[in-house]
Every structure is written in C-alpha cells, then in structure tokens.
Amino acid sequence: MQRFEKVMARRFFMMLITAVAGLFTVLTPGFLTAEQPVSAVKPFQIRTLTVCVIDADRQPLADVRIYQNQIFFAEAAEKHLLENSYHTTDARGIVVLEAKGKNYGLGLWVSKDKYCPLHAWWSPKYQTDGGQIPDEFTFQLERGTSIGGTIKDEQGQPITGVRVAVENLTSITPLAMFDNTPLQAGLRPEPRHWLAEEDDVVTDADGRWRLNNVPADDQLHFHPRVREAMPSAPELGLKLSHPDFQSDIRFGQLQRQQGITLESLRSQTAVIVMQRR
C-alpha cells in the first residue's frame, strides 16, 4: 500500500469516534446500539448546546444544515450508544442541540450551499478538552469558491451522470496520521474534510461538473508534517464513479494519473478521461 493510502486509512481510523461512526449510519438516521435502542436505557443526562452560525460579516445564516453525531454512555450502561440527527438553523442562525449522557465523541458537520463547510468535534480520548462540551458554540462560514471541469470518454464525448466526490486533503491533521502526536486542546471549528460526497455533484449532459463550496487557495495549506508525509498529494482529491466506466478506486487516482492541477480545476478547464468498462 502506498504512503498516501496508508495516511488516508490512518485518518479514517482515528476519526472512528465521530466521522466514521456517522458515515456508517448516515443512510439510516436514528439510534444504533449493540443491544438496545437509546430509548430503552433512559434515564440519562441531557444538556443543551446552542449552535449559532454566522457569515464573514457576522450576520446570522438561516437554513444551515447541521449533522450531529454523538457516541455516549448512559448511567450504568456497559456499552456506548450512538445517535445521529439532522438540524437546520432558524432565521436567527441558531439551533439548539441535545448532548446526552457521558460524552465519548460528539461531532458537528455544518454546511450551506456556496459556503465553506466546517466541522467541530469533542472527544476526551483524542483531545485534552474533549470532555468539555460548551453551552454555546459559533461557526463562522466563509463564502466558498468554485472548481469544476469536464469528464469525457476515450472518444472525447462527454459523459453524463458521473458522480464527483471531493475531499479537502489539506484538512488532514498530524493527530489523524501519527501515533506520537501529543494530545492537545481541540481545534474548533476546522475545515470539513468532505466537500462533496458521491451524490452531491453529478456531471450534466455536457459532461460538466461544478462545486461552489471550496475554500480559497490561501486556506488550502498542508500542515508541514502532513506535507512531508504526502509530498505528492493534491490539495483537493477527486473520486469519479460511473457504472459504465472504470471508476476511481481511491481519491485522486485518475486526477493524478492525468496531471490535473488545482489551477485547471479553478479555471474549470480540467478534462478527465474515463475508460469504458
């Protein structure tokens, strides 16, 4: 396995408490537990967390999507419980969430069209302050910038219906990669790793795709330790999939093979060729 794939595998393992746990259940919102639903083990402590979302001018943002994932212990419970929920900010840019039981991992993913998505998580296992969930927390979303391109077949014809997933690889932290990284206070909020999942961006009849929630270039910088470990990794990783064409097995595969640069994605002149199965 190449170094890049090892790093990505390490990142996803370290994020198991929040991100991975959430992804496994994102298609089936509700409660998961090894033995019984959350409702069957009450009572447990419930506290509120008021989330406020504002823009760069500190004005409230309504209709912001918030995905909440929490792993927690109820009183006298031997096994953890997992709850996923979805929320939307009101006209004041506010939503009140519930944090339950003894926190083991709480993650919030915040997104709105044309804005750069953010993420915050609290985990006592990986952060010195991970057990200190605040009463209030504010996300300030910056306006996103655009990338795009065209997907064609070997005859130069556009391919419709290609799903384009996009990752912000510069969001990878040393904590997600190295065992010897000392624990420290959590960085909150931080850039969300996923900019587009597979169903978010699909090519049109002309084979074109576009994404408008990408951080500006001056925000796409690798941590020095991460860049040293992944010297050839692109800032933004693409993963293309289509049932009739040979798709990416891992992020950045076709992108790197065909020399697609960040500049060409910015100018939306990037052309990626997919081979028919």
Bridging pattern class, strands 136-140 and 46-54? parallel
Residue 4: the pLDDT is 46
CATH number for the domain running over 1-142? 2.60.40.1120
pLDDT for position 16 = 40
- Stretch(es) of the chain classified as CATH 2.60.40.1120: 1-142
Mean model confidence pLDDT for the chain = 84
Three-class SS of residue 27? coil
pLDDT at 9: 45
Q: By three-state DSSP, how is residue 256 classified? A: helix
**Higher per-residue confidence, 132 vs 140:** 140
At 197-215, the pLDDT tens digits run 878 999 999 999 999 999 9
CB 10 within 8 A of CB 172: no
| Spatial contact of 64 and 112, defined as CB atoms under 8 Å apart | yes
pLDDT at 176: 59
CA-angle at 230, arms to 229 and 231, nearest 5°: 105
Residues 154-164 have pLDDT tens digits of 999 999 999 99
> Considering Cα of 58, then 64, then 70, then 74, what sign does the dihedral take?
positive
What number does CATH give the domain 144-277?
2.60.40
Nearest to 240 by CA among 169, 149, 165: 165
pTM across the whole model:
0.80
Q: Tell me what pLDDT residue 253 has.
A: 93
